[in-house]
Structure 1
Amino acid sequence: MIPRVGHAPEAKRRYTARPGAYAILPHEARFLLTLQVADRLDVQLPGGGIDPGEQPLQALHREVLEEIGWRIANPRKMGVFRRFTYMPEYDLWAEKICHIYVAKPVLQIADPIEEDHETLLLPADQAIDALGNDGDRLFLSRYISMGSG
């Protein structure tokens, strides 16, 4: 069973499964993150939804490039969690199944392609505090506690 992080689902609400791939990206003693500047500010691990027919690693590379403009290498899966949330950009209540990877940022080749996204580079303590969901904070904290950050 995939562990849940964050709020329990509402019993009478229908949720749509939304698998996604997200990356912890250590870079020069800091971490690359994405800031979504839509209805509200939300700092996230770069990544996003896995499209139908797409493999998780394909989605990870695509989403990191779209959200922060970076190419990555050597992704290693760290774990998975699920969270229940409303996604206003899709008008959707979702059970997000979040596959978390650690990867090496190789080269920034563009500005963020995805509308309403900006790239952040924060030291570990600020990155943990800034992240907008419990699952992202949990996995980044675990990564740092392993002495890797």
Structure 2
Amino acid sequence: MIRRFGEAVRPDQGYRPRPGAYALLVQGRDLLVTHQAEPVPEFQLPGGGIDRGESPLQALHREVFEETGWRIAAPRRLGAFRRFTYMPEYDLWAEKLCHVYLARPVRAHGEPTEPGHLALWMPAEAALDHLGNAGDRHFVARWLGLA
């Protein structure tokens, strides 16, 4: 069974499955996170939706690069969580299945190419206070040995 985080499921609402791949990108005790300005300003683990025909690892590499400008290596799957949420940027009620990986940031190639995203390093302990969803915070806490 995959753990669920976030809003309660609305029984009157249909949800579309939306699988995604996300990364804890670690350097010492710091994490590379992304700040998404729109539609609601929020700190997030880098990553996003898995496109049709794409594997979770292909999506992970693509999304991390788009949102941070960094290339990554040695991704290792940590687990997954579900969340049911409205995604205003897509006008979509989604059942997000979030696959979470630990990966090594290798090299920055420039600024994020995803509009409205800013990549920044943050102490992992601070990420527990700033990340916008409970599933992301859970995996950071687990990596820190707190969960």
Q: Bigger shift: 20-29 or 75-84?
A: 20-29
Aligned residue for 1:79?
A: 79
Aligned residue for 2:93?
A: 93
Aligned residue for 1:51?
A: 51
Alpha-carbon distance in 2 for matches of 1:144, 1:25:
13
Alpha-carbon distance in 2 for matches of 1:124, 1:54:
30
Aligned residue for 1:26?
A: 26
TM-score (ref. length: structure 1): 0.95
Aligned residue for 2:41?
A: 41
**Per-residue deviation at 1:8?**
2.0
CA offsets 1:82-139 (integer angstroms, 9 cap, x no match): 0001101101010000000000000001200000000121111111111000000001
Are the aligned partners of 2:47 and 2:63 in contact in 1 as well (CA < 8 Å)?
yes
Are the aligned partners of 2:39 and 2:89 in contact in 1 as well (CA < 8 Å)?
no
Give the aligned residue type for 1:10.
R
Aligned residue for 1:130?
A: 130
Aligned residue for 2:66?
A: 66
Aligned residue for 2:120?
A: 120
Alpha-carbon distance in 1 for matches of 2:67, 2:5:
23
Q: Secondary structure at the match of 1:145?
A: coil
TM-score (ref. length: structure 2): 0.96
Gaps of 5+ in 2: none
Q: Secondary structure at the match of 1:118?
A: strand
Q: Secondary structure at the match of 1:18?
A: strand
Alpha-carbon distance in 2 for matches of 1:13, 1:20:
21
Alpha-carbon distance in 2 for matches of 1:57, 1:42:
24
Gaps of 5+ in 1: none
Give the aligned residue type for 1:50.
I
Aligned residue for 2:8?
A: 8
